[in-house]
Amino acid sequence: MLKSIEPLRRSAFAAVLTLFAAATVALPVRAAAAGTQTWLVVSDIHLDPFDRRPHPSLFGSDTNLALFRSALAEMRRRVPDPAEVLLPGDFLAHDFTSRARRAGFAGSGAAGIETMRLIADAFAQAYPRARFAVALGNNDGPCGDYRTAFSSRFAAAVARIWQPLVDRGNAAPGFAESFTANGSYVASSPQRGTRFVVFDDVPLSSMYRGSCTDATSTGPESQVDWLDATLASTPPGTANVVLMHVPAGYDVFSTERTHGYFPWPFLEAGATARLLSAFSNRANRVAFVVAGHAHRFDVRIADGVSTIVFGSLSPVYHNNPAFYTLEVGPGGEPRDVRVFAFDEWTQSWQPARSFDAKWRAPSLDAKALGTLHARLGTDPALRQAWDAASSGWPSNGHIAWSTWGDAWRVPWCAQQYSGDGFAACAQLVARAESFRAGLAAMAFVAGAVIAGIALIPARRRRTERPNGD
């Protein structure tokens, strides 16, 4: 029985660190424009440190050590010197608690901390000069999915792990205290005139299940209050890049899996409205938003602010594992994204693909993305290509999961409508209404059955004769 995964760290990651030291450093795919920086983005790693199979994870599995090792080597080779590394959360594998228990741990707290340390140590070795911005995801709590551990020993331990990377060059004063308290913090950006507002929005999720401890419970209102106050205090001449795990808007996968009978929101409706208001308020100077969680690359456009949703390294939802670079201009504008994907069918890393070159979009601001969105609404071939791109360009599309097939209006409308208007755009109003009517009918029948059962004893008493009659 394993008492610690410290031996795992030494044995499994010794090879990773050796590989980094010996890796050949290559130039980026193409030079960035003057004043533009290259940032590396790796989302939804979902590392399963207990999976030691020699080959990288296949579709349907989270990231094993072999895939993580291969991805880090490819990052170091293809993106040798990013100014910033963005990690939008979900570091731990799905069902991490059960995996840890099967490996001999009493719970997932110690195993989660050591897995976080494995990931942080590997990135620190790969990128000793880059700054880091790190958000937590819904799978990163010590007591299960969609749980948080704010102001706990676990949160403090995770803060200590990431602090040396986030705080490089005194980039995030007060990081440990703020991150421990509510998972959120502010950090300076290497790009002049911009800063990061890292926001833990897991408590805003429609799936949120509360705190891991009874001592603290941070709800959506207090989290959004923190965001409002932080954006309102933006220094003059500074633009904000908001980093969070769960994007605002609708969950395409879940909506399609319910056949459109229930338009599934990522976040609670009230929280979504407040977020969109905060992002669109020009006084808050939000340049753009970075998110993950959906395991597919996508974009969201709301009230003049773009959200870039990055795909996952984990192939658990039948997408090619991928990492990305984001080119950011001197004013904080997102200019291009390149995807580096591991093709599951050929078991090899693909050449980089440029968003700008593929979609003829010179920027990822709301105006350029709005033009692209309109083209997607009228061009079936373009939608088919977007579907492949969102999954990391699988060479065998038959084994990947599609979201832009016959129900293409669901993902297309999700790009534009993060709140009201989505169901109507996606032509789901009638289905949603029938679903609600069905639920009401089921509730009525259930209530009638329960009431009928409750009346049975009374009826029996009325029909019984008194003793002696």
Question: Rounded CA gap, 289 and 312, in Å?
Answer: 17
Alpha helices in 379-428 (DSSP H): 380-390, 409-416, 422-425
Q: pTM for the complete prediction?
A: 0.86
Q: What is the DSSP letter of 402?
A: P
Q: What is the pLDDT of residue 464?
A: 53
Contacts 24+ apart (CB under 8 A), 303-307: 303/276, 303/279, 304/280, 304/366, 305/279, 305/280, 305/366, 306/334, 306/364, 306/365, 306/366, 306/369, 307/247, 307/248, 307/249
The H or E element containing residue 115 is helix 109-126
Q: Which amino acid is at 203?
A: P
Number of residues in the chain: 469
- Least Cα distance to 152 among 122, 112, 193, 180 occurs for 180
Backbone region of residue 240 per phi and psi (left: phi > 0; alpha: psi in -120 to 50; beta: other values): beta
pLDDT in tens, the chain (469 residues): 333 444 444 344 334 333 433 333 333 444 556 689 999 999 999 999 999 999 999 999 999 999 999 999 999 999 999 999 999 999 999 999 999 999 888 777 899 999 999 999 999 999 999 999 999 999 999 988 999 999 999 999 999 999 999 998 778 889 999 999 999 999 999 999 999 999 999 999 999 999 887 655 567 889 999 999 999 999 999 999 999 999 999 999 999 999 989 999 999 999 999 999 999 999 999 999 999 999 999 999 988 999 999 999 999 999 999 999 999 999 899 999 999 999 999 999 999 999 999 999 999 999 999 999 999 999 999 999 999 999 999 999 888 999 999 999 999 999 999 988 999 999 998 765 554 555 454 554 455 556 556 555 555 555 555 454 4
Q: Where are the domains of the chain?
A: 6-427, 428-469
Question: For position 221, what pLDDT does the model report?
Answer: 87
- 6-427 placed in CATH 3.60.21.10: yes
Distance CA 115, CA 48 (A): 8
By percentage, how much of the chain surpasses pLDDT 90?
74
pLDDT at res. 32:
58
pLDDT of residue 105: 83
Instruction: Give the three-class secondary structure for 459.
Output: helix
